């Protein structure tokens, strides 16, 4: 199963690379290539909201095609280090007792459309900066490890991996250093289709006595498990640098 998921991820990376090459033709308008560094974090059953105590490193490489003055297509490959632990900032007494943790590496391939709110891409624009928003589709592969401190013998411990589609969206601001070089500060949100990045799901199992009653200890063990209706999210905040390759193009006014 792990091999199948990893092969799917490699296929997505290859597809993204081929798509990027397909964009480069003799009629190209304007292209940008770049990369950046930042921080990554997650929210789910261990962390319910953004928490600076669970930050990890993040990096990205991307190619971008600017179609006109405001619209761009960006294809990217990203890496993020995700981790969280109940002991850092437990959401309640049961979470503190559960003492779950996880950590691992996430790889993502994505394609997003960017919309610039100012006439930023026009070669004669008076604006050297512009806020922008983006929305698209992606695919991520996560390889990690985790355990419950309350019960070291719990079978839900050790290494694991998963793959999931993601919906990337967010906001940022770009600034032109000159005609070729640019900077961008971006906050990105990723909605996943999985509740297993933190390896906490709703698959609780209880043992019962002869009277059919659940052992009190087993009721406590139920707190290991999370809300199946809430999917996990992860987030990127980073600074990128890009280099533009421009050919002749007649912009519409």
Fold exhibited by the domain 2-246? Porin (2.40.160)
Show me where the domains of the chain are located: 2-246
> For tokens 């990690």, what's the residue?
144
**Regions of the chain short of the pLDDT cut 50:** 4, 18, 20-28, 205-208, 214, 220, 223, 249, 251-253
CA gap 184, 38 in Å, rounded: 12
CA gap 136, 63 in Å, rounded: 15
- Backbone phi, psi, residue 189, to 5°: -110, 140
- pTM: predicted TM-score of the whole model, two decimal places: 0.77
The pLDDT value given to residue 101: 84
Rounded to a whole number of angstroms, the CA Rg of the chain reads: 22
Q: Phi-psi bin for 16: left (phi > 0), alpha (psi -120 to 50), beta?
A: alpha
């Amino acid at each position: 199963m792990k091999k199948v998921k990893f092969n799917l991820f490699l296929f997505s990376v290859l597809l993204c690379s081929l798509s990027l090459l397909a964009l480069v033709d003799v009629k190209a308008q304007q292209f940008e290539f770049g990369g950046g560094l930042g921080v990554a974090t997650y929210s789910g059953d261990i962390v319910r909201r953004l928490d600076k105590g669970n930050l990890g490193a993040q990096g990205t490489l991307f190619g971008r095609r600017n179609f006109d003055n405001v619209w761009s297509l960006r294809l990217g490959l990203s890496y993020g280090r995700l981790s969280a632990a109940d002991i850092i900032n437990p959401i309640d007494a049961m979470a503190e007792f559960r003492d779950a943790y996880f950590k691992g590496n996430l790889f993502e391939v994505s394609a997003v459309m960017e919309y610039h709110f100012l006439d930023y891409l026009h070669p004669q624009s008076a604006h050297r900066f512009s806020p922008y928003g983006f929305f698209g589709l992606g695919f991520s592969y996560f390889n990690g490890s985790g355990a419950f401190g309350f019960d070291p013998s719990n079978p839900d411990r050790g290494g694991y991996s998963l793959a999931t589609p993601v919906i990337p969206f967010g906001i940022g601001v770009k600034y032109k250093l000159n005609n070729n070089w640019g900077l961008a500060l971006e906050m990105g949100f990723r909605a996943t289709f999985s509740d297993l990045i933190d390896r906490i799901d709703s698959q609780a199992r209880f043992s019962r006595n002869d009277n059919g009653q659940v052992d009190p200890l087993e009721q406590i063990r139920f707190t290991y498990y999370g809300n199946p209706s809430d999917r996990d999210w992860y987030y990127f905040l980073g600074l990128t640098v890009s280099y533009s390759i421009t050919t002749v193009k007649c912009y519409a006014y």
